[in-house]
Amino acid sequence: MRYVISGAAGFIGSHLCDRLIKEGHQVLALDNLITGHQGNIQHLLGNPNFEYIKFDVCQPLKIPSIDKFPVHRVFHLASLASPVDYLSHPIETLESGSTGTRNMLELARKHDARFLLTSTSECYGDPLQHPQSETYWGNVNPVGLRSCYDESKRYAEALTMAYHRTYGTNTNIARIFNTYGPRMALNDGRVVPAFVDQALRGAKLTVFGDGSQTRSFCYVSDLVEGLLRLSESDEAYPVNLGNPVEMTIMQFANTIRAYFGDHLEIEHKPLPSDDPKVRRPDIGKAKRILNWEPRVPLDEGLKITIEYFQKVTTQNGAAPHSAMAENRTALEPVEVPSAS
C-alpha cells in the first residue's frame, strides 16, 4: 500500500517509516524539520519505495507526487510533542493540530484513504480517573501553559470525528502514552531522555516535586505495532496505546542510577504548572479490538535506548538534541525488538 506520513522525520514517525518500508509498502514522508531531522530517515532515502519532501502540512498540500499514485493510508504525526518545543512554539503547535489536521484529512478524503491521527494521553490532562480509559473526558486547563498542546490534540480529535461523521471518512484516533526509544532528542523535556542526558553528562538527575508522580513507558516498536493494528481496524473512536506498567518518577530515577551508578545525585525542583500527577493507560480496549499489548520490558528497551545515545555521543562528540533546525547528524537505522 501507499502511505503518506506527516512528521515522518520525527522520533515515532521515522520508526514507523522503517517498519512500513521493511514490509514492502510505499511511503511519502512529509516533515518541515521544525523538530524532526533528516538524519532519522537518511538511511531510507535511496530506497525506491521511499520519498521524502520537506514540507509544512499547515500549508496547502499542493504536492504533484501525491496525486501520481493512489493513496491508501494517511498518518498525521506532525506535532511539536515535547514540552521544550511546544512551550517555545505554541502557535505552531496549535496550527499543526488544527490546520495541519484539516489538510491531512482533506487528503484522505480526496483519495478515499484511511486516516489515522496520533493524539495523546495529554487529552486527559491532570486526570481525576486512574487509570485513564477512553471514556474519561479529562481534566484539562484550557488556558494553561500546556494548553497549546493539550487543546491542539483535543481539537484534532474533534475534527477527525467530524470528518468521519460528515463525510464518512474512515478514521482512527490513537491516544499515545509515554513512548521512548532511540532517536528521541535528549533535551526535549520528557523524563526518559532528560534522565539519560543528565546521566551521560554525569549531572544531577532533575526530579520535579517529590517524585511521587507516576508515568508508564512504552517502547517505540510496541507503539508502532499498535498504530499499524489500529489503522487496519474499523474503530473510529480513540484507543489508548501505552504501557500499563506504572512507576513513580523517583523509581525511574533510581532505575537510571542503577544503570549508570549510584554516584548520580538527585536534584528536586518545583513541579511545573499543570503537570499530571498520575499517568497510566487502561488498554483493555486495545487488547480487545486489536489483540495488542506492549511486549518489550523496560530493562530491555532502556538498554537499547541508552546504548544508542552512548554510541551517538561517542561518534559525534555530542548526543542529538532538539534544536529546531535541520542541520542534524545522519544516524544509522536502529535494530529494535519485535513487537509481534
Catalytic positions: 149
- Report d(CA 290, CA 248) in Å as an integer: 28
* Pairing status of strand 73-76 against strand 50-54: unpaired
Q: How far apart are CA 180 and CA 192, in angstroms?
A: 7
Residues near 185 by beta carbon (within 8 Å), at least 6 away in sequence:
11, 35, 82, 193, 320, 321, 322
Q: Coil, strand or helix: which one is 27?
A: strand
Q: Whole-angstrom distance between the N-terminal and C-terminal Cα of the chain?
A: 20
CA quadruple 148, 90, 75, 99: dihedral sign: positive
Within 13 Å, how many C-alpha atoms sit on residue 260's CB side? Answer: 24
C-beta neighbour count of 48 within 10 angstroms: 6
Pairing status of strand 171-176 against strand 239-241: parallel
Residue 20 CA to residue 16 CA, distance in Å, equals 6
Pairing state of beta strands 214-216 and 246-248? antiparallel
> What are the distances in angstroms from CA 176 to CA 113, 243, 283, 312?
22, 10, 11, 27
Q: Which of 61, 31, 176 is nearest to 116 (CA)?
A: 176
Burial profile 94-117: b = 16 or more Cβ within 10 angstroms, e = fewer? bbbbbebbbbbbbbbbebebbbbb
* 73, 118 contact by CB (below 8 A): no
